[in-house]
Amino acid sequence: MRIALLGSGRGSNADAVLRAQAEGRLGQAKVVGLWCDVPTCKMLELGPKYGVPARFLDSGPFKTKFSPEREQVWADDLKAAQVDLVVLAGFMRVIKAPLLDAFAGRIINLHPSLLPAFPGLDGIGQAWNAGVPEAGCTVHWVNAEIDGGAHLGQTRVHREVTDTLESFANKIHAAEHALLPAVIARLSETLSR
């Protein structure tokens, strides 16, 4: 199963997936490229580190969504790479018809909350400000509803009285780094049949 990792930032989730691949923990999946929508994205630095193509693609003038024309360019680029599964790993853009149509039922997202709680931006901050006793992360299928697709896996993280926002966020990120590769490995076995 050929995987595309899409990201916008630090690339810590992409690094976790690529590390799992290097260690033989990604099942039948193989990351065939990294696609970033920010030219200074730290995730781009992972390409040379892991021997995986990494590229910046312009997404248009909007900050949190694609222009329709640019989203079609992304869809065409991913199709040209013969991608089987698109993985949104810290990708901060709303996905619409061009990508949803081109990869129907083949896009997953990692979100830093226990969906359906705290969808959208800053799931960790939302959970922290709400004072919930636990939060976590969810991997889900992507559909037209923001963070609304069926869940593929969740990991719960308890909030301790000694936690700060930073320590709480670090625990959630550690949970993300374990969950995402595990879900990809599982999908590589079930979707490849």
**Active site (catalytic) residues:** 111
Q: Are 86 and 108 in contact (CB under 8 A)?
A: yes
Long-range pairs, 164-173, Cβ under 8 A, ≥24:
165/124, 165/125, 165/128, 168/124, 168/128, 168/135, 169/112, 169/124, 169/128, 172/112, 172/124, 172/135, 172/136, 172/137, 173/12, 173/112
For residue 162, report the phi and psi dihedrals to the nearest 5 degrees: -85, -5
